[in-house]
């Protein structure tokens, strides 16, 4: 076995051991709960824009983008624009790698790789900051509900011009809403790519944990994912992502579309 294979095998064994490690699992769940109570998820920026994600999930996005090499990332839920800028910057790195491999000049404005964000309420100050960001030429935004048929139609039309599409759902986290988003956007995911459904962890928190929100145990992205997957066998849960992260808001939320 060469050193690379050995490293990979050790990693696989380590992840498998985490799955049997009740103490580490409990610590991770408790830490997620404690950090959520303390609004830790609001602590970070990506290239200057506030991003409402855990660093672990940002790292997972980097791995997925490298694996899939998408030319379009569709995101529901923009907020301050941090996740749009994260996705745009990862696409910029893909372009840079392509250019370096081909020995050509990098022209980010000529790139086909884009991010499409949808939000029901794009606040003026956020729109202004996103449009002024150096990554703005890669970012397109649609204001409207992600389940509005007109919005879905616009997204479908835009996506039809791309060949590798990755989707992230991070808007309204109720069962009914996420189920409709999955029905609308998961079919746009190209084979081998992913639909990442954020905030599935709500199902694993104590009942009433999000007292000021319409989602709770039994009514959240994870319950929607499970209902939707039962009818959509071409997608599977990638268990490797949460296994390596341990702390993630998306357990059972990394959905991979099979290649055949
Ligand atoms: C958790 S934030 C998104 C965070 C962002 N993805 C990030 O990582 O920085 C959720 C966003 O979803 C938006 N939202 C709520 N309901 C929506 C709907 N029906 N359609 C589209 N966006 C919605 C909210 O306005 C809010 O900006």
Q: SS3 for 46? A: strand
Least Cα distance to 31 among 62, 54, 52 occurs for 54
pLDDT digits (tens, 9 = 90+) for 190-204: 999 999 999 999 999
Q: Which residue segment(s) compose the domain that 209 sits in?
A: 3-257
Q: Specify the pairing of strand 72-76 against strand 114-119.
A: parallel
Residues with CB under 6 A from ligand 1: 51-53, 76-80, 82-83, 118-121, 145-146, 170-172
Instruction: Give the bridge partners for 168, in sequence order.
Output: 75, 196
41, 28 in Cβ contact below 8 A? no
- At residue 109 the predicted structure's pLDDT band, cuts being 50, 70 and 90, is low
DSSP labels, 149-194: HHHHHHHHHHHTT-SSEEEEE-S--SHHHHHHHHHHHGGGSPTT-E
Instruction: Give the atom of ligand 1 at the shortest distance from the alpha carbon of 199.
Output: 1
- Three-state secondary structure along 66-118? HHHCCCEEEEECCCCCHHHHHHHHHHHHHHHHHHHHHCCCCCHHHCCCEEEEE
What is the best residue among 46, 120, 221 to mutate for testing ligand 1's pocket, by most ligand atoms within 8 Å of CB? 120
pLDDT band at 106, cuts 50/70/90? confident
Mutate to test the pocket of ligand 1, among 172, 175, 202 (most ligand atoms within 8 A of CB): 172
Ligand 1, atom 18, lies closest to the CA of 145
pTM summary value: 0.97
Q: How far is residue 220's CA from residue 175's CA, in Å, rounded to a whole number? A: 4
Q: For 52, phi and psi rounded to 5 degrees?
A: -100, 70
Query: What residue has token string 């309204």?
Result: 172
Domains held by the chain: number: 1
What is the 8-class DSSP label of residue 219? B
pLDDT tens digits, 10-66 = 999 999 999 999 999 999 999 999 999 999 999 999 999 999 999 999 999 999 999
* Domain CATH code at residue 160: 3.40.50.150
Mutate to test the pocket of ligand 1, among 46, 76, 77 (most ligand atoms within 8 A of CB): 77
H or E, element range at 195 = strand 194-197
Rounded distance from Cα 10 to ligand 1 centre (Å): 38
Specify the ligand 1 atom closest to the Cα of 168. Answer: 6
């Amino acid at each position: 076995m060469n050193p690379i294979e050995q490293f990979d095998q050790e990693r696989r064994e380590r992840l498998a051991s985490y799955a049997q490690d009740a103490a580490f699992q409990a610590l991770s769940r408790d830490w997620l709960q404690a950090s959520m109570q303390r609004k830790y998820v609001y602590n970070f920026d990506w290239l200057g824009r506030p991003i409402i994600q855990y660093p672990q999930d940002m790292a997972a996005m980097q791995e997925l983008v490298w694996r899939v090499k998408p030319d379009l990332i569709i995101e529901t839920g923009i907020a301050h624009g941090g996740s749009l800028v994260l996705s745009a910057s990862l696409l910029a790195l893909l372009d840079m790698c392509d250019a370096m491999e081909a020995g050509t000049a990098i022209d980010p404005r000529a790139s086909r790789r884009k991010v499409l964000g949808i939000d029901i309420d794009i606040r003026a100050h956020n729109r202004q900051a996103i449009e002024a960001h150096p990554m703005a030429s890669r970012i397109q935004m649609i204001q409207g509900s992600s389940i509005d048929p007109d919005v879905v139609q616009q997204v479908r039309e835009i996506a039809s011009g791309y060949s590798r599409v990755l989707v992230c759902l991070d808007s309204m986290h109720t069962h009914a809403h996420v189920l409709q988003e999955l029905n609308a956007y998961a079919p746009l995911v190209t084979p081998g790519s992913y639909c990442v459904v954020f905030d599935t962890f709500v199902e694993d928190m104590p009942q009433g944990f999000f007292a000021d929100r319409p989602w709770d145990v039994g009514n959240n992205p994870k319950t929607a994912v499970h209902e939707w997957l039962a009818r959509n066998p071409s997608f599977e849960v990638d268990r490797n992502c949460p296994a390596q992260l341990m702390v993630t808001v998306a357990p059972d939320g990394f959905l991979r579309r099979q290649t055949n």
